[in-house]
Chains A and B, each alone.
Chain A
Amino acid sequence: MKKSLQVYWKLFTSTFYLSAFTFGGGFVIIPLMRKKFVTDLDWIEEQEMLDLTAIAQSSPGAIAVNAAILVGYRVAGFPGALVTILGTVLPPLIILSCISLVYEWFRSNAWISALLRGMQAGVAAVIIDVVWSMGGKVVKSRDWISILVMCAAFAATYWLKLNVVFIILFCAALGVVVTICKGRKERAQDKGESE
């Protein structure tokens, strides 16, 4: 029992530490988690960590939270997952609580307000940069369905103001259909080759 308590404590402190000092979200935290749980603690195998990463990235929600759930579950079952969720969620919860308590004062201070106004332009640039990179890949793929989906989704949300949830559900359904069709085609080709 003492040993398992130690495991839970280690899980909690590791995820708390990773979450408190990782700027830049999910794509940064995963390599750090790998280092912690695969290299340092040797709790998870290299290949398994890669697969867990794939699951974390394919699931909805924050990648850091998803990865933490998987690691906690893998190491100590469902209670382990609860512990790692707590460890991952607490730092942002505490930090943002503090910021939001001083937000009113923050906003009414002319200097900080000017700082935030300047940063807004920077945030816009950061987001447009991400879109540029991701959208560029879609355009370069010359996959006409993807390009069409991208344009239609933009029109639907920006001009038609459709609820984002419906757009995502529709595109997910489209993804299922395309995957099934591709699977059939490949199977048909395999058959053709084997005959």
Chain B
Amino acid sequence: MIYLELLWSFMQIGLFSIGGGYAAMPVIQSQVVDLHHWLTLEEFADVITIAEMTPGPIAINSATFVGIQVAGIPGAIVSTLGCVIPSCIIVLTLAFFYYKYKNLRMVQGVLEGLRPAIVALIASAGLSILILSVFGNNGISWAIHQINWVSVALFGAALFVLRKWKPSPIVVMLGCGVVGMLVYQLTPLGG
């Protein structure tokens, strides 16, 4: 049953995206792209882009998007529900212990142990989007004509701007989008 699959899948996403924001990304990719093939890597990259441009958490945004693509509006509701249920149970349990003992040491210890792993997982998901954007769907190849040099240039410029001036990510992404659109549409580089 597709609804149960969506629910279970997004419950895992809710349960294992620890640390907020980008931490959800590798778990979503693993469930939605690698395990269930509900989205292609390209569509996944689009979802992340859209999620970054719209308000609301990445996990909820992708739950809605994937849910609708797979099983319409009810699918979106079920996926979002799945995303929220683990949070609900765990947060309320922790709050209970917090009000009782005022001590979150073990939880914070676990979180500290997880942080380096989360960084690595985000890096891996980010790298797969970068490779998609530079090499397209065919995967890594070092033949000069297979490399999308527009993407390489945009990526380099964006990273430089982000490191140097720390602007809002939305501005940087929109900038890349507009420059990319003009170059791809108005010059022969778009081919």
A19 to B, closest residue via Cβ: B56
The answer on a CB contact under 8 Å between B173 and A19 is no
Interface residues of chain A, those whose CB is within 8 Å of chain B, are 19-27, 51-52, 54-66, 69-70, 73-74, 78, 81, 85, 88-89, 91-93, 95-97, 99-101, 103, 107, 110-111, 114-132, 134-135, 138, 146-147, 149-154, 157-158, 161, 163-165, 167-168, 171-172, 174-176, 178-179, 182-183
Other A-B pairs beyond A125-B176, A175-B110, A182-B109, 15, CB < 8 Å: A23-B170, A55-B94, A59-B91, A89-B60, A118-B179, A120-B129, A121-B134, A122-B176, A127-B25, A128-B123, A150-B119, A152-B120, A164-B27, A168-B27, A175-B114
User: B84 to A65, Cβ gap below 8 A?
Assistant: yes
The digit string for B78-109, where 1 denotes a CB below 8 A from any CB of A, is 00100110111011101100100000111111
* Chain B interface residue count, Cβ-Cβ cutoff 8 angstroms: 107
Main SS of the interface on chain B? Answer: helix
Distance between Cα atoms of A69 and B172 in the complex (Å): 32
Which residues in A have their C-beta under 8 angstroms from that of B123? 128, 131, 135, 154, 158
B-to-A contact residues, CB < 8 Å: 12, 14-22, 24-27, 30, 34-35, 45-46, 48-61, 64-65, 68-69, 73, 76-77, 80, 83-84, 86-88, 90-92, 94-95, 98, 104-127, 129-130, 132-134, 150-152, 154-155, 158-159, 162-163, 168-170, 172-181, 183-185, 190
| Interface contact B56-A91, CB-CB below 8 Å | yes
Docked CA distance A93–B54 (Å):
11
A60: contacting residue among B18, B61, B108, B159, CB under 8 A: B18
A-B contact pairs, 20 of them (CB 8 A): A20-B55, A24-B168, A57-B20, A59-B87, A61-B83, A62-B57, A62-B60, A65-B84, A107-B46, A114-B190, A117-B151, A118-B177, A121-B176, A122-B177, A124-B126, A126-B173, A127-B125, A153-B116, A164-B27, A167-B117
**Shortest distance in angstroms between A108's beta carbon and chain B's nearest beta carbon?**
13
Instruction: Give bound CA distance, A42 to B83, whole Å.
Output: 30
Contact A121 to B57, CB < 8 A, known contacts A126-B169, A128-B126, A149-B117 = no
Task: Look across to chain A and name the residue whose beta carbon is closest to the beta carbon of B69.
Answer: A100
A-B pairs with the 3 shortest C-beta distances? A118-B180, A175-B113, A179-B109
How long is the Cα–Cα vector from A23 to B46 in the complex, in angstroms? 17
Q: Are B92 and A65 in contact (CB under 8 A)?
A: no
Question: Knowing A60-B18, A171-B113 touch, does A66 contact B129 (C-beta < 8 A)?
Answer: no
B168 vs chain A, min Cβ distance (A): 7
Contact A115:B55 (CB < 8 A) given known A62-B20, A93-B77, A157-B26: no
Would A171 and B158 be within 8 Å (CB), given that A91-B55, A127-B122, A164-B26 are in contact? Answer: no
**Distance (whole angstroms) from the CB of A126 to the closest CB of chain B:** 4
Contact B124 A70 (CB under 8 A): no
